[in-house]
Amino acid sequence: MRDRLLRLLPGLVVSVGFTIWFVVRADWRAVGAALQGVDPAWVVLSAMVLFTEFFIRALRWKVLLTPLAPNASFGRLFVATVIGMSLNVVLPFRAGDVARPWLGSRETGLSFAPLVTVAVLERIFDIFGLVCVMVLMSFLLAGTTDDLIGQLQWYASAFGAVTGLGFAVFVWMAFHEAQTRGIYTAITSRMGPVGSRFQGLFDGLTVGLAGIRDRGLLLKAALLSALHWFNGSVSIVLLSHAFHLPLPLSAGCFTSVELAMSVALPQAPGFFGVFHVAIENALRIWGMDPAPAQAFAVLFWAVSFVPVSTLGALFWTREGMRLADIHGGVTGGPSR
C-alpha cells in the first residue's frame, strides 16, 4: 500500500497544483455567466459526436481481433470499452487499460497476453491518429509564425517519426515471426531459468500481432484511428458554437493536440486541473477571453468524462463486476 501511494503521489501533486492554479485564477462569477449563456443544443451535439469515440474504439478493437476471435460481439466489446475507459477516469494508474484486456479475454476466451498485445497496438494506432490530426493542423496553419504553434508542428514531426519507427518494428515482427523468435530466444536463453518465463510472453505477443498481418485489417484500423482523433477536434469546434464563439477546424485540431499532450502527464484520477488548464491556454491562444475559455474547459471536461463514467457505472453494475474479479483474472487467466 505504501508503494502504491508513493507511485500515486506525483500524479496527485500535478493534479492538485494545476487545479489550484485554475481555481484561484478564474473569475467564477464571469465563468458562471458564460456557462448560463451556452446553447444547450450545441452542447448535446458536441457530447454525441465525442461519445462516438467509444463506438469507433470498439469497432477498431473488433477489427484487430478478427483473426483471433472472428465471432467477437461488437456489442460486448463496446461494453468492455466503456467500462475500461470509465475506470481510467475514476481509478489511478490507468486501471482501465488493464481491465479492458481482461474483459476482452472474458468475452472471447482468449488468454490475457494476446489481448495485452492488441491493447499496445491500439496505443500505437492512437498515436498514429493523433499524428494525422497534427498533420491536418500543420496544413491548416501553414504560414503561421506563433512560437507555440511552431513547437506543436515540431512535435508532430517527432511523434510521426517515433510512431513510424514503433509501428515498423511491430509490422516486421508480425511478418517475420521465425526471425523474431530466434532473436528473442537468443536473448532469453542468457537469462537462465527466468528466461523461460518470458517465452510465454513472446507467444502471446505473436498471437496478438495477427491483426496487422492482414493489410486490409491494418488499413481499417488506421482509418478508424484517424477518424477517432478527428472526431475529438470536431467536438471541440461544435462546443465553441455553444458559447457563440465559433472556432475554425484548425483551432479544434490545435486544442485536441495540446490536450492529448497534457493528459499524458502523471496525474490523479479524473484528469482535474491539467485538463482544464490545457484547454484554457489553447483557447486563449486563439483569442478567446479568459472567462469563456475557463467555462469552456469546465464544460468540455463534463462532456468528455461524465457520459462515459455514468454509462460505465451502469454497465459495471449490470455485469455484477468487482475489482477483485479483474485482479484474479489478470493473475490467473480468463474467467467466464
- What is the predicted pLDDT for the residue at 287? 86
pLDDT tens track, the chain, 336 positions: 566 666 677 778 888 898 999 999 999 999 999 999 999 999 999 999 999 999 999 999 999 999 888 999 999 999 999 999 999 888 876 778 888 888 888 888 888 878 888 888 888 888 888 888 888 887 787 666 566 566 666 766 666 677 677 777 777 777 777 787 777 777 777 776 666 666 666 666 666 676 677 888 888 999 999 999 999 999 999 999 999 999 999 889 889 988 887 877 777 788 888 999 999 988 988 889 999 999 999 999 999 999 999 999 999 888 877 776 666 555 554 443
CA dist 234 and 249 (Å) reads 7
The grid coordinates of residue 37 equal: 449563456
Specify the pTM.
Answer: 0.82
Using an 8 Å Cβ cutoff, are 206 and 177 in contact? Answer: yes
294-298 CB contacts, 8 Å cutoff, 24+ apart: 294/22, 294/26, 294/27, 294/31, 294/34, 295/31, 295/32, 295/34, 295/35, 295/38, 295/243, 296/34, 296/239, 296/240, 296/243, 297/22, 298/31, 298/35
The pLDDT value recorded for residue 325 is 66
